[in-house]
Structure 1
Amino acid sequence: MKSKMNAALRAMPLAAGSVMLAALSCAYAAQDNVGTLSNFKQTGNNVPAETVPQTGQTAEALRNNLKQIKLPPGFKIELYAVVPEARHMAIEPSTGVVFVGTRKSRVWQVTDRTHQRVASDVVQFASSVTFKVPNGVCFSPDGVLYVVEQNRVLGFPAAQFFGEGGPDVAAAVVVPQGKLIPTQFESFNHGARACRIGPDKKLYIALGQPWNVPSKDKLAELDKNGLAGIIRLDQDGKNREVYAHGVRNSVGLDFNPKDKTLWFTDNQVDGMGDDTPPGELNRATKAGENFGFPWYGGGKVRTADYKDATPPAGVVFPQVEMAAHAADLGMSFYTGKMFPEKYQGGIFDAEHGSWNRTKPVGARIMYTPVKDDGTAGPTEVFAEGWLTSTGEYMGRPVDVQQLQDGSLLVSDDYAGAIYRISYANGK
């Protein structure tokens, strides 16, 4: 196994000049550690990684809250893990270890050691590395964990094994710090990335732009760098290109395993009213398509800033118009067999919930069937109850991912948890 991990690591580019980073100021300590880890050397960090208790009052309160969740007949929801600030998830293909990104500075490693479909332990992953908004996590089929930060991409081969050893892990720089987007576009707004490995084995990354609606003088540079879009690149960081244009802020994407098309959620323009414009679930059939932003704020609703500007030719409108301001984020195609046939081959996505609506909406899991011709059928609510009748959030779902047994994991950054949805009559 060691030779395979060495080969995987050698295939990734190291940051230029990493061997000299020890001489730099502490402001570059994170990059220094990555350079050290890239060479299978220890950083000297002896501080134990943070662990999260899986029993006690917090766990019991979360289980009690789940009694309010409504699901179709035959389904049940249970607490899988207590995970602070849990955002996007990546499930390691062979062991089922779940890696969880956050919008803060930590990535979590969640392990079910007895395969009873509940976490045995939750520990901070790669604590020798100082992450910045490591929201996007995804696995390659051959077991490399990619972590997409606000402005950097790192690769971790055999993360589930190295992560057991403590703060130091094998790591490599795929996109160096400050090179994912131009640094002048770094912002706390729309800085959480999402990623997937495509059927072409390339790494796809959704890059939100930092404004509600950008000014016209910013468009060319945003588009050139793939902001307000989705980029793809080789897994070693080379051959970067913009795959999809006109995407305001996508924080969820996946590929249809049947026809290999890319689907993604997109969050609409704020401040246009409670019920407009709609959120989006989109389908990209080829590279270079434009999905309408900022000429359109969501669906076919024009923005005030660009109402007199001519949109690009051939704008692709969404497959599904979702509830306005429900904030559809992470999504996954369901490829398992546990759920009834109705759900097989369809899309589950997480609605995070509104922040700027007179009456809140969202905080639920939606289901969209995909028809034989590859287009979307009618969307329906699958799981709800995190938003109470009095408008109080008990939780805010972020991402949905499928375990090997066909059950569904749901992350919740507000409650700090991961839930597992299973079907009682499933195999």
Structure 2
Amino acid sequence: MKTIAFITVLSIAFHHTQLFGQDGNTEIIERNMEGHIFRPKQLMPTPENIGSLKLPPGFAIEVFAEGLGKSRMLAVAANGAVYVTDRDQGTLTLLQDSDGDGKAEIKKVLAKKDQLHGIAIDGDDLYLITVNELYKTAIHPDGSIDSLLLLVDDLPDGGQHGNRTLKIGPDNALYVSVGSTCNACIETNKENATMLKMNPDGSQRTIYATGLRNTIGFDWHPQTGELWGFDHGIDWLGNDEQQEELNKIVEGQDYGWPFVYGDGQFEVHHDPKNMTHEEYAAKSVKPTLLYDAHAAPMNLLFYTGNQFPGEFNGDAFVTMHGSWNRAEPSGYKIVRVRYENGQPTRIEDFITGFVTADKKGQFARVCGLAQHTDGSLLVADDAHGVVYRVYYK
């Protein structure tokens, strides 16, 4: 069986000294940083590997569809039609489980656009997004769609983070996550590293929040209506820096990137304009919770169904795609964010085992999430083109 050899760990040491002048005083900050490059060996999603996954008692996981290239983002229409994007091929594929056995018998490519990634559904309207373009189409009762209507063609260029995602908010506005072009830099386009807000027709586009390096996964809490997103931390700060950030995203707020991260640490390679790092930290919003550095949160979804036990309602699921620049891999799992009274209290494992016990091999890089009409959870793996179905027995 063909596998892809894992990359030998590459360690790179950095020594950085920077001077800060404040009120006539000079502060010397020195940092020794060490970076690593390591990816576990890619294994196949065999029945044995899938059977080794660890889930909470009463839960099960099975293959809903496969052979989907590099399946990324998911959305489910009210009629049960499932849509999945493949960024590399630029495709939108329809999946349908006609007989209700938990497996998709129908798999049909409906549209193709270069670097198609994000997807959102609002009633019979389906929205798709590439790096620079936003499209809209209509869903037919049989799951097919109309031709794509171009709404926006001037979103910022992608650079390092071109994976746009979008959702319709409780206010019926369209929200679009636009990542940074770089690891840590001062952007020339003010719309990079932001959450954008616009009308469903693409008009009246504004910056909703800024200082967000790459918040691919975001959703609104079903009880409070508050917007939450999981932001990717800066790379090359070491194995355990920067941790991934769970933020309550509030209109008009700045979340610190690239100058401030975590609980107020400074990214010393870049200086804020006309203020100190301390002053910038005071005006930016700190994350509510932190998670393992480099785990790479990809999608965030609040559970609102009734197929899972009631205690899961109002909690969030997050796919952790998995690290590449950490000596020991982090991520490669699905986590549950526990909420109490509308606020997150802790993050715990939900499904683990996609990476082997010795952490040298993995058979899935989990990505998109969607709640099916029956309340089960669909999960996309972009390493092998599999969509999994998670359900409570």
Output the TM-score relative to the length of structure 1: 0.77
| Cα pair distance change 1:403/1:266, threshold 3 Å | same
Distance 1:70 1:108 in 2: 29
Partner residue, 2:137: 156
* Residue identity matched to 1:408: L
Deviation at 1:398, TM superposition (A): 0.6
Does 1:362 pair with 2:362?
no
For structure 1, the 5+ residue unaligned runs are 1-59
Distance 1:62 1:111 in 2: 23
Does 1:300 pair with 2:300?
no
Partner residue, 1:96: 80
Does 1:198 pair with 2:169?
yes
Distance 2:128 2:140 in 1: 11
Partner residue, 1:53: none
Does 1:81 pair with 2:65?
yes
Residues 112 and 121 in structure 1, CA contact (< 8 A), matched pair in contact too: yes
Distance 2:388 2:323 in 1: 21
Deviation at 1:380, TM superposition (A): 0.3
Distance 1:174 1:363 in 2: 35
* TM alignment of 1:250-265, pairs within 5 A: 250-265=215-230
Match 2:121 to one of 131, 136, 139: 139
Match 1:108 to one of 86, 90, 93: 93
| Cα pair distance change 1:325/1:61, threshold 3 Å | closer
Match 2:304 to one of 335, 357, 375: 335
Distance 1:299 1:416 in 2: 37
The higher-RCO structure (CA 8 Å, 6+ apart) is 2
| Cα pair distance change 1:61/1:241, threshold 3 Å | closer
Q: Secondary structure at the match of 2:86?
A: coil
Residues 280 and 298 in structure 1, CA contact (< 8 A), matched pair in contact too: yes
* Residue identity matched to 1:337: N
Deviation at 1:86, TM superposition (A): 0.8
Aligned residues: 342
Distance 1:291 1:209 in 2: 13
Partner residue, 2:15: none
Distance 2:260 2:194 in 1: 14
Partner residue, 1:288: 252
Partner residue, 2:24: none
Match 1:413 to one of 376, 379, 382: 382
Q: Secondary structure at the match of 2:197?
A: strand
Partner residue, 1:20: none
Distance 2:214 2:141 in 1: 30
* Residue identity matched to 2:147: A
Partner residue, 1:64: 48
* Residue identity matched to 2:383: Y
Partner residue, 1:13: none
* Residue identity matched to 2:258: P
Deviation at 1:314, TM superposition (A): 3.2
Deviation at 1:399, TM superposition (A): 2.0
User: Normalized per residue, which structure has more strand?
Assistant: 2
Partner residue, 1:396: 365
Distance 2:215 2:95 in 1: 25
User: Normalized per residue, which structure has more helix?
Assistant: 1
Residues 222 and 228 in structure 1, CA contact (< 8 A), matched pair in contact too: no
Output the TM-score relative to the length of structure 2: 0.83
For structure 2, the 5+ residue unaligned runs are 1-43
Match 2:189 to one of 222, 238, 262: 222
Deviation at 1:116, TM superposition (A): 2.1
Distance 1:98 1:62 in 2: 23
Partner residue, 1:237: 202
Partner residue, 2:149: 172
Distance 1:408 1:344 in 2: 13
